[in-house]
Chains A and B, each alone.
Chain A
Amino acid sequence: MCSTAAEIIDNNQNLKYNKPMLKLKNYSVSGVLENINVDFEKGKKYIVMGSNGVGKSTLIHSIMGRPDLEVSGELTLGSADLLDMPVDQRAKAGLFVAFQTPTAIPGLSNFQMMKQALDLKGSELGKKLAEYKDNAKALKLPEGWDKRNVNYDASGGEKKKSELIHLKMLDNKVAMLDEPDSGLDVDGIKSLITTLNDWHNEENTLIVVTHYEKLIEGINPDAVLVLKKDNVIVGDKTLADTIFSKGFDSV
């Protein structure tokens, strides 16, 4: 039986995802990935690795429902079938994606976007603004960040930090981050690790695409996935160590 996103939201307080939380079965994407089978479980942290161009970003965005990607197979979140859901429904059902290159939207302020997103969840305005400012300050974003336009006139690192604020405030169940370390300075990487570990708990799932050793160490993942065109190799943290020492061809 499949549930719609609306049904999931209605039962938000009583979410009982069957393990695995996010399941891909015989999942193919636009000729890039074929017959992928992988389960992402609740309460766990995953690192996704893979050689350049293998389709790591494509995988994440296809799960999020990017309209230009054609997919087949099965994709479920708990008991909900995601394949027929538009992007916003998937977001409401609990999926979150942090972009590798976040899209700029001139004319729309960071806080305005966050406020409208939280309005859908019924938060109070004063609380939202204070929380937004606190988060921006904790990530060492410049003063007045809330008034600046979304990802416009911002450095690569600032954009990535901005995505982390979304992650914290939108409170989704499955977070997929696409190379969140790129563009971040040393302090930024520390903040990233802290943010991700603070966010993660037994009720949610963290999926991070990265090849950055320190980030993998900092996150201390439950599993490392190496993505191939038609296969996923699953291992523990030592799989990442093997790749760092011997390369992708070794696995």
Chain B
Amino acid sequence: MYKQLFSYPFLSNQPSKETYYNLPDLVEYITSDEYIAITEDHTDKNIYKELIKCYKANLLFLREHGVPHSKQEQFNTFNLNKLYSLDILTNNVAKTSAIFDKLGYLATSDENLVTCIDGDVFTTENINKKSSAGLQILDYMKVGKQRHTEYTKLIEKTGNFSNLTFGSSIYPNVFIFPNGSKSKYANKPVKITYENSKDDPILESNTNIVDVQYGTHVKLVEKVKTTAGQMNYVTYIVREGSTLEIDRDTTDAGGWSIFDSRFICHPNSIVKINCSNTGSQYTQENFYFKCSSGVKLELNGRNNIRKGNEYYSFVRVRSADNDNTSNIDVRNIGNEHSKTSWIGRFEVSPTSTGFDGTMDNDNLMLSSTAKMNTRPILDIYTKEIECTHGCTISNVDKNQLYYLQSKGFDKATATSMLVESFLC
């Protein structure tokens, strides 16, 4: 990424930053006058001009606000100092055929596979086939200008990491599940993998938009594998009467990641998310939901954070209109020296009567060296709602442990059984 933004080798001329940089350096770089001037001068006819405008506005916003900081509510228990001190290797090597070798499995599989690497999208052959009800992928937003106007408007100035992700990936990719596909992609889910191109400590970013059109049922199986730094910003549009299911698994492969998921839920839509995490040297997973009316939302997180790993999560549900249901149930396990933080927020507007929400975050500390934070926030502006929350942090229950041991299980096996039952 870094030196490849519009192929302009900006920072390579700075001797002190020849090898490594970090996220604040990146913000400094992409919000500098020189870099913004490049975006204005960019004359590639294939690039949609509205996108360039949007991109520039995003950079100016980023310049004004800088990187997210710990005084912001959603990040104030996160380990941002660590994040900002992570070394990122300048990646001035152009993408090579090595990536294609790595993705060889796409050529032979008959599954619906999509792999996203640093803004590029690679798919299996059956997804590429043009059909009236098939998944359409607008990569780089280079075609279909009329559609791009709509999608470009969706990229907001949020103040979280999504602005930085967009600033470093430039071309959003759009995945459209057309109305005619009905349940085709629920019956045969689309598996999307977010990968790095190499194991070196580089940073790669993806900005995607997923559009689930009216009356459609889609299931996505997302795998996030980070061998290096990875920032993802995905906007999911779930249109009226449609259902989106996501199973997301984020596994530590030696890197770090930030994944911002934004959901725009149209009336009577259903969103079900099951996510699991192992944490990594730094993993941040944020969910932002905007619900209109009659939206059913379910988020289940089952995170077993490995020894020494970190996992931070922020969930915000904004309910703007009537009769929305939101069930959030996130459970974290903290192993030795792990760190977790979970912040959940319901924002229910005065016009959102009939909101029914439950927010649960339970944390199980397996070691006294684990650090776990939890914070539920209910911001309610109407009386006609049902809303509950419950957040706990506890150790392994001694009575449960003794009960299992009395049935013949040794301490390690009994603890493991209790961990599994906690994550069930």
Residues of A within 8 A of B (CB): 64-68, 86-88, 91-92, 96-97, 99, 102-103, 105-108, 113, 116-117, 120, 149, 166, 170
Contact = CB atoms under 8 A, between A and B. Distances in A.
B407 A113 contact: yes
B424 A107 contact: yes
20 contacts: A67-B402, A87-B405, A87-B406, A88-B408, A88-B411, A88-B414, A92-B408, A99-B403, A103-B402, A103-B403, A105-B403, A105-B417, A105-B418, A105-B421, A108-B418, A108-B421, A113-B407, A116-B417, A120-B408, A170-B408
A113 B404 contact: yes
Contacts of A87: 402, 405-406
Contacts of A166: 407
B399 interface: yes
A64 B406 contact: yes
A102 B403 contact: yes
Nearest to A95: B406
Interface SS majority for chain B: helix
B298 to A, nearest CB: 18
Interface string B35-51: 00000000000000000
Interface in B377-422: 397-400, 402-411, 413-414, 417-418, 420-422
Among B398, B404, B407, B422, which residue has the most Cβ atoms of chain A within 10 A? B407
Contact of A68 (B398, B400, B424): B398
B400 A117 contact: no
Contacts of A103: 397, 399-400, 402-403
Closest 8 CB pairs of A and B: A107-B421, A107-B424, A87-B405, A108-B421, A103-B403, A91-B408, A88-B410, A88-B405
Nearest to A120: B408
A247 B19 CA distance: 87
Given A68-B398, A86-B411, A103-B400, A108 B420 contact: yes
A173 B409 CA distance: 17
B420 A107 contact: yes
A9 B35 CA distance: 74
B138 interface: no
B423 interface: yes
Contacts of B397: 103
Interface residues of B, number: 23
Contact of B408 (A65, A68, A117): A117
Contacts of B400: 103, 105
Nearest to B422: A107
Interface SS majority for chain A: mixed
A170 B407 contact: yes
A107 B423 contact: yes
A231 B372 CA distance: 49
Given A68-B398, A107-B422, A108-B417, A91 B403 contact: no
Given A103-B400, A107-B422, A107-B424, A91 B405 contact: yes
Contacts of A105: 400, 403-404, 417-418, 421
Among A64, A65, A66, A105, which residue has the most Cβ atoms of chain B within 10 A? A105
A117 B421 CA distance: 15
Contact of A108 (B402, B413, B424): B424
Contact of A117 (B399, B402, B409, B420): B409
A120 B407 CA distance: 11
Contacts of A113: 404, 407, 417
A107 B424 CA distance: 5
Given A66-B402, A68-B398, A91 B407 contact: yes
Contacts of A97: 406
Contacts of B409: 88, 116-117, 120
Contacts of B403: 99, 102-103, 105
A91 B402 contact: no
A117 B422 contact: no
A107 B406 CA distance: 19
B178 to A, nearest CB: 40
Nearest to B421: A107
Contacts of B414: 88
Contacts of B411: 86, 88
B424 A91 contact: no
A12 to B, nearest CB: 13
B255 to A, nearest CB: 31
B104 to A, nearest CB: 39
Contacts of B417: 105, 108, 113, 116
A170 B414 CA distance: 17
A38 to B, nearest CB: 21
Among A88, A91, A92, A99, which residue has the most Cβ atoms of chain B within 10 A? A88
B349 to A, nearest CB: 35
Interface string B79-111: 000000000000000000000000000000000
Nearest to B407: A117
Contacts of A149: 421
Given A91-B405, A91-B406, 8 more contacts: A64-B406, A86-B410, A88-B409, A102-B403, A103-B397, A103-B402, A105-B418, A166-B407
A149 B402 CA distance: 17
Interface in B340-375: none
Interface in B296-317: none
Among A99, A102, A107, A149, which residue has the most Cβ atoms of chain B within 10 A? A107
A68 B64 CA distance: 59
B405 A106 contact: no
Nearest to B417: A108
Among B409, B411, B414, which residue has the most Cβ atoms of chain A within 10 A? B409
A68 B407 CA distance: 18
A91 B408 CA distance: 5
Nearest to A121: B408
Contacts of A116: 409, 413, 417
A107 B399 CA distance: 16
B6 to A, nearest CB: 51
A106 B413 CA distance: 17
A130 to B, nearest CB: 20
A117 B413 CA distance: 10
Contacts of A108: 417-418, 420-421, 424
